[in-house]
Amino acid sequence: MLDIAIDRKTYPDRAGAPHLALAGLRLEAAPGEFVCVVGPSGCGKSTLLNVVGGLDRDVEGRVRLTGADSAHDIGFMFQEPRLMPWLTVLDNVLLVTDASPTAQRRARELLTAMGLADVLDAYPGRLSGGMQRRVALARAFVIEPKLLLMDEPFVSLDVPTANRLRAMLVEQWQRSGATVLFVTHDLREALALADRICFLSAAPGRVVLELPLALARPRAPDDAAVQALHAELLARHPELLAGLTSEPHEIQDE
Ligand SMILES: Nc1ncnc2c1ncn2[C@@H]1O[C@H](COP(=O)(O)OP(=O)(O)OP(=O)(O)O)[C@@H](O)[C@H]1O
């Protein structure tokens, strides 16, 4: 369903010379597959998502997305929740829809499933960081995306809040059947979420290892099976994991 072949993606550096961010990157994802992209800071993960999502078209290569009719079939979630402070929780979610009665029902259902039924009319500034991410998660799913692009969406949250959000994501993903491309530099997070992990090299990023996962769900980053696989990977591929951090830098949230 998703077939990515990026030959070259450059940015102009300060002197205007091309700075290579991605080169020779090949990646495929099957319908409904949850793929995590893991790599060190600066290897091109956000660039990859921007290219796949059509936010950046200045690239040599191609992205084929079959089964999706339009950009409306692609959902996004970024590191920051990116909510409009002047809109209520419900209106923030409806913003990406046609606000039809069906969309309204769906938005309410999603927000209720995420424990936000009591704050539909609240403004984002009144919500904790974790609640704001839940609104962003509901907004990502409300369009019933065929493809969901997620750029470190749970970074900087405390462990219980991040784990709760991951569980909500997996529940909605399993219901929706969406293909997910989830970028992270946290290997334990990837092990907790993915059907398959694609490791990117340091810049310019390309896929250097693919790891299919057969661990049962639900999983969390601190599960014994995840920890064991993490330790095994560290032992087998120390070179790949240099530059990655598995320790989230926490802020207390809820
Ligand atoms: N708008 C831009 N202009 C110039 N260079 C850029 C731009 N955006 C990214 N880069 C460079 O391209 C490379 C890839 O950046 P990108 O943000 O995609 O990496 P990343 O893996 O997402 O990093 P991080 O994990 O730190 O968010 C880096 O060297 C970065 O400095």
Overall number of domains in the chain: 2
In a shared domain, residues 155 and 216: yes
What is the C-alpha end-to-end distance of the chain, expressed in Å?
38
In a shared domain, residues 35 and 152: yes
pLDDT score for 249: 42
pTM greater than 0.90: yes
Report the nearest atom of ligand 1 relative to the CA of 43: 21
In a shared domain, residues 153 and 227: yes
Regarding predicted confidence, which is higher, 228 or 251? 228
Position 23 in a domain:
yes
Q: Is 45 in the pocket of ligand 1 (CB under 6 A)?
A: yes
In this model, does residue 250 exceed pLDDT 80? no
pLDDT score for 71: 61
Position 219 in a domain:
yes
Cα dihedral: 168, 170, 174, 177 (round 10): 110
Q: Is 42 in the pocket of ligand 1 (CB under 6 A)?
A: yes
Report the nearest atom of ligand 1 relative to the CA of 185: 25
Position 206 in a domain:
yes
In a shared domain, residues 58 and 150: yes
In a shared domain, residues 63 and 93: no
Q: Judge contact between 54 and 74, C-beta under 8 A.
A: yes
Average pLDDT, the chain: 91
Position 89 in a domain:
yes
Q: Is 38 in the pocket of ligand 1 (CB under 6 A)?
A: no
In a shared domain, residues 155 and 51: yes
- In the reported structure, the alpha carbon of residue 217 is separated from the centroid of ligand 1 by a whole-number distance in angstroms of 33
In a shared domain, residues 60 and 154: yes
Nearest CA to ligand 1 atom 30: 42
In this model, does residue 81 exceed pLDDT 80? yes
- CATH number of the CATH domain containing 179: 3.40.50.300
Q: What are the percentages of helix, strand and coil residues in the chain, rounded to 5?
A: 35, 25, 40
Query: Torsions phi, psi of 10, nearest 5?
Result: -120, 155
Annotate 181-200 with DSSP letters as a single string.
EEEES-HHHHHHH-SEEEEE
In this model, does residue 156 exceed pLDDT 90? no
pLDDT score for 253: 52
Position 165 in a domain:
no
Regarding predicted confidence, which is higher, 195 or 202? 195
In a shared domain, residues 94 and 185: no
Position 249 in a domain:
no
Instruction: Provide the CB-side half-sphere exposure for 153 (13 A, CA).
Output: 32
Q: Is 47 in the pocket of ligand 1 (CB under 6 A)?
A: yes
pLDDT score for 247: 46
In a shared domain, residues 120 and 198: no
pLDDT score for 16: 86
Token readout for 85 is 């402070």
In this model, does residue 139 exceed pLDDT 60? yes
**ipTM value of the model?**
0.97
- In the reported structure, the alpha carbon of residue 201 is separated from the centroid of ligand 1 by a whole-number distance in angstroms of 13
| Confidence band for 252, pLDDT divided at 50, 70 and 90 | very low
Task: Give the range of the structural domain holding residue 195, as residue numbers without chain letter.
Answer: 1-68+146-159+172-244
Token readout for 213 is 């996962």
State the Rg of the chain over Cα: 18
In a shared domain, residues 176 and 224: yes
Cα–Cα distances in angstroms (integers) from residue 112 to residues 106, 115, 117, 154, 227, in the given order: 10, 5, 5, 20, 32
